[in-house]
Structure 1
Amino acid sequence: MAIKFGTDGWRAVIADEYTFENLKKISKATAIAFEGHPKINNGIAVGYDTRFLSKEFADCAAEVFANHGIKVYLTDSFVTTPTVSLLSRDKNLAYGVMITSSHNPAKYNGFKLKDEFGGSMGPVHLNVIEEKLKNSDSFNYGSGTLEEFITSGKIEYIKGKDYYRNTLKEKIDTDVINSSGVKIIYDAMYGSGQGMMDGIINITAIRNEVNPSFGGSSPEPVQMNLSLISGEMKSGKFDIGIVTDGDADRIAIFDENGEFVDAQKTFALLLTYMVENKKMTGGVVRGFSSSDVIKEICDEYGLKLYTVPIGFKYISELMIKEDILIGAEESGGIGLKHHLPERDGIFNGMMFSEMLAVKKKKMSELIAEIEKKYGKYYYKRIDQHLSSNELKSELIELTKSLKEVAGLEVVGQDTLDGCKLLFKNGWLLVRASGTEPLLRIYTETTGENKTEEILNDIKKKFKL
């Protein structure tokens, strides 16, 4: 099967499609695609997460790049994906490579590319790499070894974790957090976020060690995977619970009562904090599946709102081209103007901690303030496993033909990514996942019970 980039990099099952041979192919194709890059002589960064064989895969990729004549800065330990983004931008490198499959199950691994500006690489470059892959049968990988390149300096170890931690200290008001008495618990989900905040702010950490099986669940910060931290929060000992995914670019938040704060609310909270308290300005970018409450907030503050397809690479591209204050997506990725045009779960978790310290209010109180001002929005997503791309396409086409769902009249539709049906007080979106064999179904309404009714009716219509 051909190697293809999805919503965020190339991902595949280890020992099935994700092999050392295929990794060498995609690394070589990347090296060829960027031969004329103006910064290629500055080198590239290569990092890796805590997954099975990630270090070995990173070593393999570094060896391929070095054999192609490229200087490689290889992290000396596992790091977060945003660390590779920072290194790429701050060290003036051509690009960065991260060996990770993010939130996917343990059997997966992946290959993410970060552009020179520190954000996700856009489709133009990725398409060139895919074109180069068509000639992979004729690739010459060279004979130099990792050890030889380390000795010669062509591959140089870099302390990525230290660099990232120093960035946190510079950009976050850690003094106000630590002096406030805000009690923080952090769930690393056995991912590469572990150790990043230790000693910078006062935290209690759980699932904070390397476990390539991720304890038997996927390192995705969705509610069904987070009963452990929810239970800890309900003990009443903590003010905020922070969770990051496998490569720590996405975040989930719990309030002081152990209630899961969905990504729609975290987006709204951080946007409001940056405008009201940090007095920052700029446009706002939301993913196609994000809540309509963001539009209400933008209207309130006179902020320009952009809507882009699913995938943070589209948000990153806009953050580079325009003056963007914040960009965020439904899955928990948030990029901020004063940091990176990229998701960063650790950084954003510390921003939420700073927010609580500055506002001197509980998380639930801040959420209640937003709901009082803009109204309550009820949001839900379900994922249906479908391996057939043809069937996914058929169901999306079926969605386009619908005139009503759960008794709600369809008053419009938007096909920016999949198909979104618009109702008077809500919407329904059906689209294929770009990273997994899933059909994703999202809905939002202003009526609490209506979201369930919509989802039940669409499943009935789809015969799922």
Structure 2
Amino acid sequence: MQIKFGTDGWRGVIAREFTFENLSLVAQTTMDYLHRENLAGKGLVIGYDRRFLSREFAERVAEIAAGNGITTWLTDGYAPTPAVSWAVHERQAGAGIMITASHNPAIYNGFKVKESFGGSARPSTTKVLEEMVAANKADNRAVVSQPLAEAINSGKVTLVNAREPYFRQLSRYVDLEAIRKADIKAVVDPMYGAGTGFIPELLPGIAEIHTLDNPSFGGQPPEPIEEHLQELSLLVKSGLYRVGLALDGDADRIGAVDETGEFFSSHRIFTVLLRHLYERKGLRGGVVKTVSTTRMIDLLAEKYGLTLQETPIGFKHICELMLGNDILMGGEESGGLGVKGHIPERDGILMGLLLLEAMAMSGKGLRQLLDETMDEIGHFYYQRIDAPIDNAAKERLIDKLKAGGIKAIASRPVAAENFKDGFKYIFADGSWLLIRPSGTEPVLRLYSESNDPGIVRELLAAGREIAGI
């Protein structure tokens, strides 16, 4: 089996691909990499989520780190990915490792690598790790480890609280007192994940659901998408709460429900927060978005005179730009958002707090804030479809689209093309269609946005016709 690092780390089904044997190989390779890059002397932070065996997997990684002579800080309980990333940054560690499969179904677990700057490993880094894993496997590289109890007693491994330093950073970034004074009735759904308890600990008046230790995540993947947030929506519709916030399994992504009880997509969150950061917090800098993200961001950036850059899908591409440029905010369609003055990392907890801060400072609900913005830049409608497609049909479609020749879609002339990640066709009125075959599964993703919902439906139907599905 080939071990590959996807958009954010290596993931696999527990006991099939994600085994202690494969984990040990990947962990040993990571230690080899840290020594090779002269990072081992700076130490390693290890954290884990609430999935089945995550603590045991993290402890095994710590044993291997200790065996390789690397000073290790192991979280003393489950922790969100952004808290682990912050610990890497604050301790100036050589790297971080987070045991999590993020929003994947419960049968999965995963291994995320965080670089010394406190963000996801860059594509260049994961490429090297993949090559080294394959070489170590071929060479039957011996795994060197030290029993955990012995490593702790010797001081090589230290159990640390990742919550308090992270809380201090959040308290510096967000005006928690303003939120407390506004007395916003809010409820959080951490989806049984690693973000459980974090927002209510900072803001004790906020309610929380789905907090039990439940590695099955209640029978659905811990992904804050509309179909998974029906209970949260009903709670807001009941009148008990004015807003609902949701976190994915490792709390690096955010979802929300507005004051009407309607799902508030990541595009809307990105739009509302960009305006909040610029207008209320007075922050400046460029903006980065992925190719599948709403055009509202383009128009807001234009309104504010901010530089806009577009990347392929995956926050690691945004992270790279945040490292080398003055970036105010970066975001992706899946709910991962990062901001200036923090770490170049997605942080669902911080984004949730910023939404509450925006409500507190404005005295308005999320829907009101969005409507105000849309009244200025236009109203937009967005839809995504995931359709099954076999690999042979997928390859034929890719060849067809690469060959070009598509001049019009749904009787609309194509004004521009963007093949940065998938095949994006842009029309004169700003409407667009993105046809993106998945690189890892037999799925075709179709995305469309327009200021007319009828045009969105037409473009998606035309996309299906082009793909033959």
TM-score normalised by structure 1 residue count: 0.96
Contact 1:165/1:197, CA 8 A, preserved across alignment: no
**Aligned AA for 1:218?**
P
Partner of 2:358: 355
Contact 2:43/2:72, CA 8 A, preserved across alignment: yes
Partner of 1:409: 413
Partner of 1:87: 87
Q: In 2, Cα distance between the equivalents of 1:321 and 1:435?
A: 29
Q: In 1, Cα distance between the equivalents of 2:108 and 2:388?
A: 16
What secondary structure is seen at the aligned counterpart in 2 of 1:411?
strand
**Aligned AA for 1:321?**
G
Please show how residues 116-127 of structure 1 align to structure 2 within 5 Å. 116-127=116-127
Partner of 1:424: 428
Is 1:456–2:461 an aligned residue pair? yes
Please show how residues 268-287 of structure 1 align to structure 2 within 5 Å. 268-287=271-290
Q: In 2, Cα distance between the equivalents of 1:143 and 1:102?
A: 27
1:332-363 Cα offsets, whole Å, 9 max, x none, are 11101022211100111001101100011122
1:389-426 Cα offsets, whole Å, 9 max, x none, are x5434333334443333332222211111111122231
Q: 2:147 aligns with which of 145, 148, 170?
A: 145
Change (3 A) 1:231 1:20: same
What secondary structure is seen at the aligned counterpart in 2 of 1:410?
strand
**Deviation larger for 441-450 or 97-106:** 441-450
**Deviation larger for 84-93 or 198-207:** 198-207
1:19-55 Cα offsets, whole Å, 9 max, x none, are 1111111111111122143442121111111111111
**Deviation larger for 163-172 or 245-254:** 163-172
Change (3 A) 1:222 1:369: same
Q: In 1, Cα distance between the equivalents of 2:244 and 2:51?
A: 24
Shift in Å, 1:155: 1.2
Q: In 2, Cα distance between the equivalents of 1:181 and 1:143?
A: 51
Q: In 1, Cα distance between the equivalents of 2:179 and 2:438?
A: 38
Q: In 2, Cα distance between the equivalents of 1:435 and 1:242?
A: 30
Please show how residues 97-246 of structure 1 align to structure 2 within 5 Å. 97-137=97-137, 138-201=140-203, 202-246=205-249
Is 1:445–2:450 an aligned residue pair? yes
Q: In 1, Cα distance between the equivalents of 2:106 and 2:198?
A: 22
Shift in Å, 1:387: 6.5
**Aligned AA for 2:31?**
A
**Aligned AA for 1:301?**
Y
Change (3 A) 1:240 1:288: same
Q: In 1, Cα distance between the equivalents of 2:100 and 2:251?
A: 10
CA RMSD, 1 decimal = 1.6
Contact 2:64/2:145, CA 8 A, preserved across alignment: no
Is 1:341–2:337 an aligned residue pair? no
Contact 1:7/1:435, CA 8 A, preserved across alignment: no
* Matched length: 463
What secondary structure is seen at the aligned counterpart in 2 of 1:290?
coil
Partner of 1:40: 40
Structure 1 runs (4+) greater than 4 angstroms displaced: 434-437
What secondary structure is seen at the aligned counterpart in 1 of 2:199?
coil
Q: In 2, Cα distance between the equivalents of 1:328 and 1:433?
A: 20
**Aligned AA for 1:410?**
V
Contact 1:50/1:210, CA 8 A, preserved across alignment: yes
Contact 1:37/1:94, CA 8 A, preserved across alignment: no
Q: In 1, Cα distance between the equivalents of 2:376 and 2:322?
A: 28
**Aligned AA for 1:225?**
H
Contact 1:230/1:259, CA 8 A, preserved across alignment: yes
**Aligned AA for 1:306?**
Q
**Deviation larger for 111-120 or 163-172:** 163-172
Q: In 1, Cα distance between the equivalents of 2:10 and 2:388?
A: 19
**Aligned AA for 1:109?**
N
**Deviation larger for 392-401 or 29-38:** 392-401
Shift in Å, 1:437: 5.0
**Aligned AA for 2:183?**
G
Contact 2:70/2:156, CA 8 A, preserved across alignment: yes
What secondary structure is seen at the aligned counterpart in 2 of 1:199?
helix
Please show how residues 317-396 of structure 1 align to structure 2 within 5 Å. 317-386=320-389, 388=391, 390-396=392-398
**Deviation larger for 158-167 or 349-358:** 158-167
Q: In 2, Cα distance between the equivalents of 1:136 and 1:437?
A: 30
Contact 2:252/2:347, CA 8 A, preserved across alignment: yes
1:289-326 Cα offsets, whole Å, 9 max, x none, are 11111111111111011111111011111111001111
**Aligned AA for 2:65?**
F
Shift in Å, 1:182: 1.1
Shift in Å, 1:431: 2.0
Structure 2 gaps of 5+ residues are: none
Q: In 2, Cα distance between the equivalents of 1:103 and 1:25?
A: 24
Change (3 A) 1:191 1:284: same
Contact 2:68/2:145, CA 8 A, preserved across alignment: no
**Aligned AA for 1:187?**
D
Contact 2:31/2:40, CA 8 A, preserved across alignment: no
Q: In 2, Cα distance between the equivalents of 1:451 and 1:46?
A: 44
Q: In 1, Cα distance between the equivalents of 2:30 and 2:445?
A: 30
Is 1:12–2:12 an aligned residue pair? yes
Contact 2:187/2:241, CA 8 A, preserved across alignment: yes
Contact 1:47/1:98, CA 8 A, preserved across alignment: yes
Shift in Å, 1:460: 3.2
**Deviation larger for 437-446 or 177-186:** 437-446
What secondary structure is seen at the aligned counterpart in 1 of 2:201?
coil
Q: In 1, Cα distance between the equivalents of 2:48 and 2:168?
A: 19
Contact 2:63/2:145, CA 8 A, preserved across alignment: no
Change (3 A) 1:363 1:320: same
